[in-house]
């Protein structure tokens, strides 16, 4: 049986085994010392199927849950390209040529551009322009034309 309650300081949801009632624990979130409350109808949660002796004596914490799941994780997962202040950023360009992205029997242009755009970050992109260019194909000695992208960004 588990007792579910919130830390009075930071409102972190805590789950402690009922055997921990009355004992002092440290909130894993804000490190406040708090006392595990008595079990009552509101805070008791029966753990389904879990009756091993070890887990009965062990006080344990659950991973915190939020009303908006994963919100903070998403913000952390997309950091700016560099930890620079906006004022330190310079306008830069990056040219992606289609021929540079061709591998043997495989066209990685879209993947490379996608990677690059994510690296730069949407907020830093000023403009994306298509370009056409000519080049001499080394194997056929022919003059070929191809396309690419010119990305103007802050970074
Ligand atoms: Zn706390």
Task: Output the pTM of the full model.
Answer: 0.42
CB 28 within 8 A of CB 12: yes
What's the mean per-residue pLDDT of the chain?
79
Q: What does the pLDDT read at residue 31?
A: 92
Instruction: Note whether residue 10 is domain-resident.
Output: yes
CA nearest to 34, candidates 55, 71, 59: 59
Whether residues 50 and 96 share a domain: the answer is no
Whether residues 91 and 148 share a domain: the answer is yes
C-alpha distances (whole Å) from 63 to each of 20, 28, 84, 148 are 18, 10, 32, 46
The CATH number covering residue 19 comes to 2.20.28
Whether residues 91 and 138 share a domain: the answer is yes
Residue 2 C-alpha to ligand 1 middle, in angstroms? 18
Residue 151 C-alpha to ligand 1 middle, in angstroms? 46
DSSP string, 86-145: GGG--EEEEEEEGGGGEETTEE-HHHHHHHHHHHH-GGGEEEEEEEEEEEE-TTT--EEE
Q: What does the pLDDT read at residue 131?
A: 94
Instruction: Note whether residue 127 is domain-resident.
Output: yes
CA nearest to 44, candidates 8, 9, 13, 17: 17
CA distance 108 to 43: 54
Whether residues 150 and 97 share a domain: the answer is yes
Q: Is the dihedral of CA 64, 68, 70, 76 positive or negative?
A: negative
Whether residues 106 and 46 share a domain: the answer is no
Q: What does the pLDDT read at residue 98?
A: 92
Q: What does the pLDDT read at residue 45?
A: 67
Whether residues 91 and 53 share a domain: the answer is no
Q: Is the dihedral of CA 70, 75, 79, 80 positive or negative?
A: positive
Whether residues 91 and 149 share a domain: the answer is yes
Q: Which protein residues have their CB within 5 A of the ion that is ligand 1? A: 7, 9-10, 12, 27, 29-30, 32
CA distance 123 to 61: 38
Residue 14 C-alpha to ligand 1 middle, in angstroms? 9
Residue 13 C-alpha to ligand 1 middle, in angstroms? 8
CA distance 145 to 91: 28
Residue 89 C-alpha to ligand 1 middle, in angstroms? 38
- How many distinct structural domains can be found in the chain? 2
Whether residues 51 and 8 share a domain: the answer is yes
Which residue numbers in the chain have pLDDT < 70?
41-87
Q: Which residues, 6+ apart, have CB-to-CB distance to 55 below 8 Å?
A: 17, 47
Per-residue pLDDT of 46-85, as tens digits, reads 655 444 444 444 455 565 555 555 555 545 555 555 555 5
Residue 131 C-alpha to ligand 1 middle, in angstroms? 56
Q: What does the pLDDT read at residue 49?
A: 42
Residue 9 C-alpha to ligand 1 middle, in angstroms? 5
Containing domain of residue 108, as a range? 86-154
């Amino acid at each position: 049986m588990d007792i579910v309650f919130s830390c009075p300081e930071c409102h972190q949801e805590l789950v402690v085994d009922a055997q921990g009632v009355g004992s002092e624990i440290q909130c894993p979130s804000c490190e406040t010392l708090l006392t595990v409350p008595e079990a009552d109808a509101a805070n008791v949660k029966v753990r389904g199927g879990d009756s091993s002796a070890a887990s009965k004596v062990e006080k344990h914490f659950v991973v915190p849950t939020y009303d908006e799941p994963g919100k903070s994780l998403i913000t952390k997962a997309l950091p700016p390209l560099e930890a620079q202040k906006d004022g330190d950023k310079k306008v830069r360009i990056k040219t992606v040529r289609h021929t540079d992205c061709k591998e043997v029997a495989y066209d990685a242009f879209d993947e490379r551009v996608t990677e690059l755009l994510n690296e730069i970050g949407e907020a830093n992109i000023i403009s994306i322009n298509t370009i056409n260019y000519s080049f001499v194909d080394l194997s056929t000695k022919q003059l070929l034309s191809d396309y690419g992208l010119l990305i103007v960004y802050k970074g």
